[in-house]
Structure 1
Amino acid sequence: MATTADIIITNGPVLTMDPAAPRAEAVALAGNRILAVGTRSEIESLAGPKTQRIDAQGATVMPGFNEAHMHIFPGSVSLRQLNLHGIQGFEPLKAAILDYAAKNPDEPLLMGFSADYSIISLTEPCTRHHLDAILPDRPFMMFAPDHHTAWANTAALEKAGILQGKDVGIGNEIVMGPDGLANGELREGNAFGPVSALASTGGREELGMVTGMDPENVTPEQFALDRAILKAGLDYCASWGVTSIQNFDGNHYQLRLMRDLELSGELSCRIRIPYHMKNFMALEDLDKAAAWKKEFATDMLRGDFVKVFMDGVLDSQTAYMLDGYGDRPGYTYEPLFTPETFDAIATKADALGLQVAVHAIGSAAIRQTLDGYEAAVKANGKRDNRHRIEHIEIIHPDDIPRFAQLGVVASMQPVHYPGGTCFPAEATTAKIGEDRWGYAYAWRTMKEAGAPVVFASDWPVSPVSPFQCIQDALTRKPWKDGLKDQRFSLMEALEAYTAIGAWVEFMEDRKGMLKPGYLADVVILTKDIEAVAPEEIMDTVRPAVTICDGRITFQA
């Protein structure tokens, strides 16, 4: 290894995330590796005439953030869309949509995102009639923050051919109105997919989530557009200190776009993209996932795991629940896979050496997923495949110890907590039911039970900022007195965003810590994060410099 550093970083507290040497004064990088971590004088001695010196100005130096659950293509596209976060009431919605429409005269489908379920009011659900009253003559659709529900106006429904309704398969729904026509609410991807297809991107960003299939007949112009959109999204992630992305939708097309960026040296974050296994696919399709794992296997780009949706979300009551909903007892909804089908998927993927990651929000979905992982252990013996469950928003207490017993990862998003910095407590708390509040979004409970807990944002469901997520993990307020304190310490939250994220993707031997020989993925913050009050982190801390693979990918 080289003995002269290409970059040295001094004058800031270094949080290495390495339990053997948790703190240091300075870091040296050579090529795409960490050359040394130590005292300022030790690191200064490695400088040569061409070494780039970075002064951290008293701010924290740490491993780059590992965004362990996000959607890069929809997120990248959302940078061009109307952000409705925080908009409440008809008049503010109208002003925002009309302003956006005026600025985008040529877009065939105007799209908004982060529209709260109660954007009109807590008592009046949004319909196409509200949107028609704002914009009657141009197709418009807006997504709920969770991207599991959308609302479209009549022009969009008509152009997509779904105004009269349509069978969209299990777990999906075009909600019909009393007049026998679609009322504008579209639940899950098969329902809003036909509308998304009207956009200038042709809905290609949704395919990895909705069908898992590749788009047909992509022209060179469309490929170039998608590549530019993704490049902008990756650069945006780098601007938040992210150096690794574990993506949660995908297809071979996205992997090819990323390979193109990788080969030209434009990949500003490491990324892994899953094979998205849908309920209409044959079990043999998992062989394709195994082939992707061999085809895409660099430290920058990998296609090495399987993603599955077991249920929907709490707010549209498409989460699969034990004992029903708090405000709708007896209504449990249904899983997207039968137990037998999922057991077979988990067992085959496990045998192929593929990690499985399952979106499971409701207590019944979580239990069915754990049952599938247990079936895989019985069939194949215990393997180190680090299977995951994503979100875990409401869990039955009997299922908590099973994570440690089965070696299952709890992938959770503190920023999703209703009543935190991103989403209102109502009406989600009512849907959960007060008797189950103690087992909702239970990060600390899961950690204390021995589950590896990894943090992420789920962008564009919530902002990609790791600092907002960390603040929510540190400052969570319970919904009532007497509930267990679910907060993390700062160091636990940072570890869940770095070292544990690397472990979850089998890269703990080369990233997630600042350690000699490890990959040079570093973020220098604008503040000493340990000196910032927890409730001020998201508004005051930012990356000053992001370095991925030894290259500066962002500089404030």
Structure 2
Amino acid sequence: MHLSIKIIFCLTLIIPPVVSAKFTLIHNVTGYTLERTGNLKQFSTLVFKDGKIVKTGDKSLLKNYPKAHKINGNNKYLLPGLIDAHGHVIGLGQNLSRLDLRNTKSKQEIGEKLKVFAKDKTGWIIGRGWDQENWPVQQFPTASDLDIYIKDMPVVLTRVDGHAIWANTKAMSLASISSSTLAPNGGEIMRLDNNNPSGVFIDKAENLINEHIPKSTKNEINHALNLAGEHLLSLGITSVHDAGIDLTTWQVYKQRSKNKSLPFRIYAMLSASDPSLEKMLNAGTYQEQNDFLSIRSIKVYADGALGSRGAALLEDYADRPQHKGLMLESQNQLEKLYTQSFKHGFTANTHAIGDRANKTVLDAYESVFKKTGGRLLRNRIEHAQIVHIDDIPRFKKLNIIPSMQPVHATSDMHMAPIRLDDKRLVGAYAWQTFIKQGSHLAAGSDFPVELANVFHGFYSAVSRMDQNQQPEKGWFYEQALSRKQAFKAFTLDGAYAAHQEFKIGSLERGKWADFILVDQDIFKAPVSQIYKTQVLETWIAGEKKYQKRISN
């Protein structure tokens, strides 16, 4: 009797109770997802459990899962969570609380905004978003243009592309900038006729000023992350490839991952210019169990940007003779960075905009692949904006992913023809050429350079027009994407570029239940209306993270 009781008691200890898992079922939707075959599947019902997709199908699933928690989608449109393959999360969050100069039309307008913003403030005044191409006189500004409005506090305003800053005299004084100050390699100090610095510093010369601005604390970075999270979730973005993080942000991300408090999925690239790069690489790659944080790549800068004439070109700028832009790293230095990255098992993702930069980066990748390997790490070129037509096939040959931002084309289409000639524009923003050769095109926005709204990028990708439907037939329309291609670039190919195509990017069995509900059918709506798409709900791992407030 005692033996029997003992056996029964032991059995009750080792046999766990049967727990009935709860299914959730969303029905009465028009849903779209890509399948592994490449087909675009349409469905009306989605089932998920424990944060992962169980099945998509028609309304018969209601009978198959009678005890599921049911949600009526009320004829909304359901898509996989959107992936922005190139953004700057903390920069976006900081911008939301700094002076926003996007779409300003003159130096005077900026000055008035600056005066209002600086009222009752102390310390450094920071802003971003100016673009001299939008002004009546399309020339770089000067420090004296800012001194008129603010002269007793240091002011630093970053150009919209992040590759030039505009400082007032106080900021230059605090940084000990004078006529004898030399620009570092990979940078340029714009000068007045008397050789004094004008107040504009390009690419690596930015740091002559920026190193004097107080560094962000962990609390400030956490605050910026929270602000960015609220904003991006409202836009249906469930995963971001954060293009270049410093040591402090790396520490914050890992702590937030440990605390399970990251607002969305982040594929973070370590900034190759951070002095602590080797320390971060030595810590190894990082993959959070629930895929909210992945750290397995570095971000390298090869050149500057087209708008500030820092993009490195093979031939002179059409509007600035004897100037070919700036290489921020030599081919030899690029090879050292790639070798260092590959040694630790990290992918190398490289910013390259001009055709000379893209060629140099491809040469560097090819050289390192021959010496040490690394070809299968899904290395990327970020932007790949102006590529010599002979170099485009090399992306496929070397397994380099073009990580491109469709909205850049429609933002640049008035400026690019001034900087370049027609011959060089043949390989510019050449999305369709890349896709036809079999390249995975990972699409993003480059926020806060551009707005973070993916549907703006989707619209640019399929139309090659601005939001006024200009030019009428689209700028180099032969490079436009189909809606299916654009959808893939912002979902499954974005996942592929982060080694996550078996986890996110589509609504297939076993993947995370990351999805959004929107107010219109992006596959059937008029092209002119696509950019107006509104996100109504955002879900990550089967949990609702955002719901649009309906105003009365």
Q: TM-score range by the shorter chain?
A: 0.7 to 0.9
Q: 1:428 — aligned with what?
A: 416
Percent of pairs with identical residues? 24
2:483 aligned with 1:466: no
- Cα separation, 2, equivalents of 1:413 and 1:156: 33
Q: 2:133 — aligned with what?
A: 118
- Bigger shift: 398-407 or 28-37? 28-37
Write the mapping of 1:117-156 to structure 2, written as runs, cut at 5 A.
117-156=132-171
Q: 2:11 — aligned with what?
A: none
Q: TM-score, normalised by structure 1?
A: 0.87
* Mapped contact 2:269–2:296 kept (Cα < 8 A): yes
Q: Give the SS at the match of 1:316.
A: coil
Q: 1:16 — aligned with what?
A: 33
Change (3 A) 1:189 1:257: farther
Write the mapping of 1:193-208 to structure 2, written as runs, cut at 5 A.
194-195=209-210, 197-198=212-213, 202-204=214-216
User: Which residue identity is paired with 1:31?
Assistant: D
2:288 aligned with 1:271: no
Deviation per residue, 1:178-216 (Å, 9 max, x gap): 345321102125525634743xxx243xxxxxxxxxxxx
- Cα separation, 2, equivalents of 1:351 and 1:223: 30
Q: 1:547 — aligned with what?
A: 539
- Cα separation, 2, equivalents of 1:86 and 1:95: 14
* Mapped contact 1:193–1:203 kept (Cα < 8 A): no
2:526 aligned with 1:533: yes
2:56 aligned with 1:68: no
Among 189, 197, 208, the residue aligned to 1:174: 189
Deviation at 1:375, TM superposition (A): 1.6
- Bigger shift: 499-508 or 54-63? 54-63
Change (3 A) 1:292 1:535: farther
User: Which residue identity is paired with 2:232?
Assistant: C
Write the mapping of 1:388-403 to structure 2, written as runs, cut at 5 A.
388-403=380-395
2:101 aligned with 1:97: no
User: Which residue identity is paired with 2:75?
Assistant: G
- Cα separation, 2, equivalents of 1:2 and 1:29: 17
Name which one, 1 or 2, has greater alpha-carbon Rg: 2
Q: 2:13 — aligned with what?
A: none
Deviation per residue, 1:415-438 (Å, 9 max, x gap): 111xx2xx3544332112222222
Deviation at 1:287, TM superposition (A): 7.5
Write the mapping of 1:416-495 to structure 2, written as runs, cut at 5 A.
416-417=408-409, 420=410, 423=411, 425-477=413-465, 483=476, 485-495=478-488
* Mapped contact 2:160–2:449 kept (Cα < 8 A): yes
Q: Give the SS at the match of 2:308.
A: coil
Deviation at 1:499, TM superposition (A): 0.4
Q: Give the SS at the match of 2:387.
A: coil
* Mapped contact 1:293–1:303 kept (Cα < 8 A): yes
Deviation at 1:86, TM superposition (A): 1.7
- Cα separation, 1, equivalents of 2:203 and 2:182: 13
Mark the runs of 5 or more structure 1 residues left unpaired by the alignment: 205-221
Q: 2:60 — aligned with what?
A: 41
* Mapped contact 2:161–2:449 kept (Cα < 8 A): yes
Deviation at 1:371, TM superposition (A): 1.1
Deviation per residue, 1:269-324 (Å, 9 max, x gap): 1112222223x979xx6574253314767611122101111111112221111122
- Cα separation, 2, equivalents of 1:19 and 1:29: 19
Q: Give the SS at the match of 2:53.
A: strand
* Mapped contact 2:129–2:449 kept (Cα < 8 A): yes
Q: Give the SS at the match of 1:529.
A: coil
Deviation per residue, 1:77-109 (Å, 9 max, x gap): 00012222221123432332233233xx22522
Deviation at 1:401, TM superposition (A): 0.8
Q: Give the SS at the match of 2:245.
A: coil
* Mapped contact 2:92–2:224 kept (Cα < 8 A): no
Among 215, 219, 231, the residue aligned to 2:226: 231
- Bigger shift: 39-48 or 360-369? 39-48
Deviation at 1:378, TM superposition (A): 1.6
User: Which residue identity is paired with 1:537?
Assistant: I
- Cα separation, 2, equivalents of 1:40 and 1:305: 42
Among 314, 318, 338, the residue aligned to 1:322: 314
* Mapped contact 1:156–1:195 kept (Cα < 8 A): no
Write the mapping of 1:158-173 to structure 2, written as runs, cut at 5 A.
158-162=173-177, 166-173=181-188
Change (3 A) 1:336 1:125: closer
Q: Give the SS at the match of 2:226.
A: helix
Deviation per residue, 1:493-539 (Å, 9 max, x gap): 1110010111111111111110111111111112222232222222x
* Mapped contact 2:140–2:200 kept (Cα < 8 A): no
- Cα separation, 2, equivalents of 1:442 and 1:397: 9
Q: 2:5 — aligned with what?
A: none
User: Which residue identity is paired with 2:502?
Assistant: D
Deviation at 1:152, TM superposition (A): 1.5
Q: 1:343 — aligned with what?
A: 335
- Cα separation, 2, equivalents of 1:290 and 1:355: 14
Q: 1:413 — aligned with what?
A: 405
* Mapped contact 1:525–1:543 kept (Cα < 8 A): yes
- Cα separation, 1, equivalents of 2:319 and 2:383: 21
Q: Give the SS at the match of 1:114.
A: strand
- Cα separation, 2, equivalents of 1:106 and 1:44: 62
User: Which residue identity is paired with 2:400?
Assistant: V
Q: 1:214 — aligned with what?
A: none
2:345 aligned with 1:353: yes
User: Which residue identity is paired with 2:492?
Assistant: A
Q: 1:367 — aligned with what?
A: 359
RMSD: 2.7
* Mapped contact 1:12–1:25 kept (Cα < 8 A): yes
Deviation at 1:44, TM superposition (A): 5.9
- Bigger shift: 116-125 or 57-66? 116-125
Q: 1:257 — aligned with what?
A: 252
- Cα separation, 2, equivalents of 1:255 and 1:288: 8
Deviation at 1:406, TM superposition (A): 1.1
Q: Give the SS at the match of 1:233.
A: helix
Change (3 A) 1:440 1:122: farther
Among 483, 491, 512, the residue aligned to 1:519: 512
- Cα separation, 2, equivalents of 1:350 and 1:173: 31
Deviation per residue, 1:455-478 (Å, 9 max, x gap): 000011101100111111111149
- Cα separation, 1, equivalents of 2:230 and 2:475: 43
2:292 aligned with 1:300: yes
Change (3 A) 1:400 1:239: same
Change (3 A) 1:309 1:476: same
2:76 aligned with 1:32: no
* Mapped contact 1:34–1:519 kept (Cα < 8 A): yes
Q: 1:242 — aligned with what?
A: 237
2:73 aligned with 1:56: yes
